[in-house]
Structure formats: structure tokens, C-alpha cells
């Protein structure tokens, strides 16, 4: 049971360090890299480029790791996706006489069952049981929201009852079985690397706890700044000064939520991760572990190893010093250097003019668009204003969306497809393309392209800075000149 926390801001070489460690360990140990699903392909590509293959190395996320472990234990109680769908259809049929508005949607639209299933999965992943939902419902003042939560709670109850009566487990419940069995699976020759996560669910923290307890070694990569957790500044660490009573703060969740230096910090989510890991360390009674940190100084990345016993730093080793990836880009190097120094946002601006929605497929995406249009039109009617159909434009990625035009008719919306109108030069499309295809090698040009769309609030920010200069900085300069003039006259 060997634990190492890899704490560093983004871009200083955490993943590269993990790759180098894998190179040293892969011949003598079995390696599993846990990274988010969207990052899995990229990590496998890096491994293939480096080692010409991924022999003895698995790249997985927590879900795919669960599927791998299922093969090691009895999975007769695990229900298939088809049976899971059938359960929901049975529940909808049983509740069709109720006032549950979700039931009719499930009966009339099989695709909607997947949305309900995702909600219930999420409730289970975060260990939210029916009693907690009931307490939440009782404390709600908004009747509309209360009705929605009650509807999902009723289906949640019947779904659990269906599983219990049939002595079956769904994939989320089955993880609990896997966690119990991890104590009996030999992981003594496995090294786990966790990289690329910015947050974990409660069940994933339980996974981490079991893997730390039973594996040969666990390395967890966290995007943060080590100066938040030790009682010295980074310059002292880099220059190797002898520091008496060097300590690591045993950060708790209570500190994160109640101490403004953590709760309003830009690394708040990372503080939560570290607080949870500290809790695991305490629970498993781990007294000695390591923290490897990478800090920036003058475009150099400095790798420092801290050896800890409880919260006391017993030893410190400056391992290496190398150029970071931003050495040839002044703008980004400056940003990386200054970003950790921003303790909290200066102003809180709420802007709901742009909203992002997620859908599992094109059909559900179109349905969400139709519902949003109905909602917007109703808001206009409530204000005694009229919104014409011609005032609404729907921009879509490709012609595949056109076959779902019929959905709008179901919502009494008349939609005309104008195939002669190109959207390539639309300002909104330009803004989205510049944001999504951002090239960090040419920061000034990319930022200018975003500003040229005139869809940002940069004008207001710029005006505020100009006003501050005119009203404040000019006043300081005038006062300074007056002082100099006065002293010259007296002299």
C-alpha cells in the first residue's frame, strides 16, 4: 500500500511524469491507468507512440474497470440493458393510472426511458436514497419543482422494488458488490495511475479507497497549487532552503466549504479531491506517503518530492529542473504563472443569455429545442409581447437533422428549412468555432478573433478599466506632480 499524490498546475508535466514512471514499472508490475472516457484514446495513443504498444498496460475509466472486474466475480445477478428497459416499461404500465407525468412520456417515447434511467443512475452514484429525496421534497417551496422530484422519486422506489423482488442488481448497485469483492481480489502487483479527473462521485472515492488499500501503489494526479497546502512559499521550495517544521495542511471538507480562502479559490474542486483523499488516508491509517509537486519558476518546471509522515514533511528532494511546454509562448507562460495567484473572482456576473443543453441523440436534441422555443414564446406572452416564428432561427450542423423536422409539428411549430442560407459566416458560429478550436500557440490572434464577433462583454470590461484609469490613476499622477511641484517650491 504505497500512495503518491501528484499535485501541480496544468501544463507542467504531470502526464509526462506518469508516462516516465510507467516506463520504469511496466516490466515488473501490471499497470492500470484510470482516466476519463473522453481522454482514454489520447492516453492510449501516447502509450503506443512511446512504447509501440500497450502490453501489460490497461487504460480504463471507472465504468470500464467495473466491467473488467465483473468477469472476476459471479455476475448472474446483473441485469442486461434489455431487461433494464423492460423493467421501466413494466413500471410505467403499473403506474399509468397515477398522476405521475413522467409515466405517459415513458409509455409514448421509449427513448425517454433512457433519460429517466440516467437520473436514477446519478442518484445511486451519489448515494442518494429515498429517505433523502423525501426530506428534500418536504423542504421544497417551488410546487413545480416538487412535482418533478416526486415523480422521479416514485419511479425510483418502484425500480428498486422491482430489482429486489427479482433478486437482481443493476450496474450501479453491482458496483457495491464489486467494492466488497475487491478485498478478495489479488491486486498486490498492480500499480494504478489516476490522471485527468477534476472530480469524483462518492462511489468512485470508494473505489479509490479500495484500490489504495489493496494495490501495490496508487498515484493520483491533481491540478492544484502546492502552496495552498504547505507552510512555506514556492521560492523556498525551489531554492532548497532549510525550513524548520515544514508541514502539510491536513485539509478537510469542512475547511473547503467554510474557509473562504478555499471555498472561493480557483482550485476549489481540487481542494475537494484533496480533502476526500485526506479522509481516505485517515480512514486507512496511512502514516507515510509522498507528494510529488511540479512548480514553475522563470519558465522552468521544478519537480520536488515531499516525504510525509502524518502531516509532517520529513524530507524534501529537488528531483529535476526542465523547460515547460510554454517556454516559447510568452502570453501562455505568463498566464500559467499568474493563474494560481488569483485567489477569488473579483466580480460575480450572472449571464443566462447563452445556455447549453445535452442530449443523447439527434431526436432528443430536436425535442429539447422545440420545448425551449415553446418556453420562450410563453415567457413573451406572459409579458404581453409577441414573438413571431420568423424571429427564431435554428442553426444545425448537417442535413441529418432535417429528417426530424416532423417533431416541430408535434409541438405546433411551423419550421421552414432555408437551404440557400449559409451559416458559415454567422457571428455566433464564428464565436463557437474560435472557442472550440482555440489554438494556444497564437493567443493574441485567437483572442482577437473572438472579440471581433462582438458577442462578448469585453467592451464593458474595457470601458470600466478606462474609467478606473481616468478617475483613479490620473488622480494619483496629478497628486504626485503636485507634491513634486510643492517640494521644489519649498526647496
pLDDT in tens, 387-398: 777 778 888 877
Q: How far apart are CA 466 and CA 461, in angstroms?
A: 9
Average confidence score pLDDT of the chain: 82
pLDDT value at position 217? 95
* Residue, of 366 and 332, whose pLDDT is higher: 366
> What percent of the chain is modeled with pLDDT above 90?
27
CATH architecture of 3-72+176-341: 3-Layer(aba) Sandwich (3.40)
Strands of the sheet containing 300-309, edge to edge, are 57-60, 30-34, 190-194, 217-223, 3-8, 288-297, 300-309, 312-323
> According to the model, what pLDDT value does residue 192 have?
96
User: Per-residue pLDDT averaged across 340-354, rounded?
Assistant: 59
pLDDT band of residue 348 (cuts 50, 70, 90) is low
Residue 344 has pLDDT above 70, yes or no: no
State the pTM of this model: 0.68
455 or 258: which leads in pLDDT: 258
Task: Return the SS3 of 4.
Answer: strand
pLDDT (tens digit per residue) in 172-229: 887 888 888 888 888 899 999 999 998 898 889 999 999 999 999 999 999 998 888 9
pLDDT at 433 over 90: no
Q: Where is average pLDDT lowest: 156-170, 347-361, 469-483?
A: 469-483
| Whole-angstrom distance, CA of residue 320 vs CA of residue 323 | 10
What is the reported pLDDT for 214?
93
pLDDT band at 83 (very low <50, low <70, confident <90, very high): confident
Place of cell 466488497: 180
- Does 304 score more than 50 pLDDT? yes
Interstrand relation of 288-297 and 300-309 (parallel, antiparallel or unpaired):
antiparallel
Mean pLDDT of 217-243: 83
How far is it, in rounded angstroms, from Cα 32 to Cα 65? 9
| pLDDT reported for residue 218 | 95
1 pLDDT above the threshold of 90 = no
Q: Phi and psi for 400 in degrees, rounded to 5?
A: -60, -25
Residue 23 has pLDDT above 90, yes or no: yes
The DSSP code sequence of 154-178 is HHHHHHHHHHHHTT-B-HHHHHHHH
Over 70: is that where the pLDDT of 466 sits? Answer: no
The CA-to-CA distance between both ends of the chain, in Å, stands at: 75
Mean pLDDT for 313-321 is 85
The per-residue pLDDT for 489 is 44
Q: How many whole angstroms separate alpha carbon 69 and alpha carbon 187?
A: 11
Tell me the residue ranges of DSSP E strands in 82-213. 190-194
Amino acid at each position: 500500500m504505497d500512495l503518491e499524490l501528484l499535485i501541480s498546475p496544468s501544463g507542467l508535466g504531470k502526464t509526462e511524469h506518469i508516462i516516465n514512471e510507467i516506463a520504469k514499472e511496466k516490466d515488473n508490475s501490471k499497470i492500470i491507468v484510470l482516466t476519463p472516457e473522453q481522454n482514454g484514446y489520447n492516453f492510449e495513443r501516447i502509450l503506443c507512440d512511446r512504447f509501440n504498444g500497450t502490453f501489460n498496460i490497461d487504460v480504463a475509466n471507472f465504468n470500464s474497470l467495473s466491467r473488467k472486474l465483473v468477469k472476476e466475480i459471479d455476475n448472474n445477478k446483473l441485469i442486461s440493458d434489455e431487461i433494464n428497459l423492460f423493467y421501466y416499461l413494466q413500471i410505467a404500465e403499473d403506474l399509468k393510472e397515477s398522476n405521475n407525468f413522467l409515466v405517459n412520456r415513458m409509455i409514448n417515447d421509449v427513448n425517454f426511458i433512457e433519460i429517466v434511467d440516467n437520473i436514477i443512475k446519478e442518484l445511486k452514484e451519489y448515494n442518494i436514497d429515498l429517505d433523502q429525496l423525501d426530506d428534500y421534497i418536504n423542504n421544497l417551496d417551488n410546487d413545480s419543482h416538487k412535482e418533478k422530484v416526486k415523480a422521479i422519486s416514485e419511479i425510483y422506489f418502484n425500480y428498486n422494488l422491482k430489482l429486489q423482488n427479482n433478486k437482481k442488481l443493476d450496474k450501479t448497485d453491482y458496483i457495491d458488490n464489486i467494492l466488497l469483492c475487491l478485498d478478495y481480489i489479488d491486486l498486490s502487483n498492480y500499480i494504478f495511475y489516476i490522471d485527468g479527473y477534476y472530480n469524483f462521485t462518492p462511489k468512485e472515492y470508494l473505489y479509490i479507497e479500495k484500490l489504495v488499500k489493496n494495490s501495490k501503489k496508487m498515484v493520483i494526479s491533481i491540478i492544484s497549487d502546492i502552496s495552498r497546502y504547505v507552510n512555506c512559499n514556492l521560492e523556498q521550495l525551489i531554492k532548497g532552503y532549510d525550513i524548520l517544521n515544514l508541514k502539510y495542511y491536513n485539509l478537510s471538507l469542512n475547511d473547503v466549504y467554510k474557509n473562504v480562502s478555499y471555498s472561493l479559490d480557483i482550485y476549489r474542486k481540487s481542494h475537494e479531491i484533496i480533502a476526500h483523499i485526506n479522509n481516505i488516508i485517515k480512514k486507512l491509517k496511512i502514516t507515510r506517503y509522498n507528494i510529488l509537486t511540479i512548480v514553475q519558476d522563470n519558465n522552468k518546471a521544478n519537480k520536488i518530492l515531499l516525504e510525509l509522515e502524518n502531516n509532517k514533511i520529513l524530507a524534501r528532494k529537488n528531483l529535476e529542473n526542465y523547460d515547460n511546454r510554454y517556454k516559447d509562448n510568452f502570453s501562455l507562460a505568463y498566464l500559467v504563472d499568474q493563474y494560481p495567484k488569483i485567489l477569488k473572482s473579483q466580480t460575480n456576473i450572472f449571464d443566462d443569455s447563452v445556455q447549453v443543453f445535452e442530449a443523447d441523440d439527434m431526436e432528443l436534441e430536436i425535442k429539447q429545442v422545440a420545448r425551449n422555443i415553446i418556453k420562450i414564446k410563453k415567457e413573451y406572452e406572459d409579458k404581453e409581447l409577441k414573438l413571431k416564428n420568423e424571429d427564431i432561427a435554428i442553426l444545425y450542423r448537417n442535413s441529418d437533422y432535417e429528417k426530424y423536422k416532423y417533431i416541430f409539428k408535434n409541438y405546433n411549430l411551423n419550421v421552414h428549412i432555408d437551404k440557400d442560407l449559409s451559416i458559415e459566416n454567422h457571428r455566433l458560429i464564428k464565436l463557437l468555432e474560435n472557442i472550440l478550436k482555440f489554438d494556444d500557440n497564437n493567443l493574441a490572434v485567437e483572442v482577437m478573433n473572438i472579440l471581433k464577433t462582438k458577442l462578448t462583454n469585453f467592451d464593458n470590461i474595457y470601458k470600466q478599466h478606462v474609467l478606473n484609469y481616468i478617475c483613479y490613476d490620473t488622480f494619483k499622477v496629478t497628486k504626485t506632480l503636485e507634491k513634486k511641484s510643492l517640494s521644489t517650491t519649498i526647496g
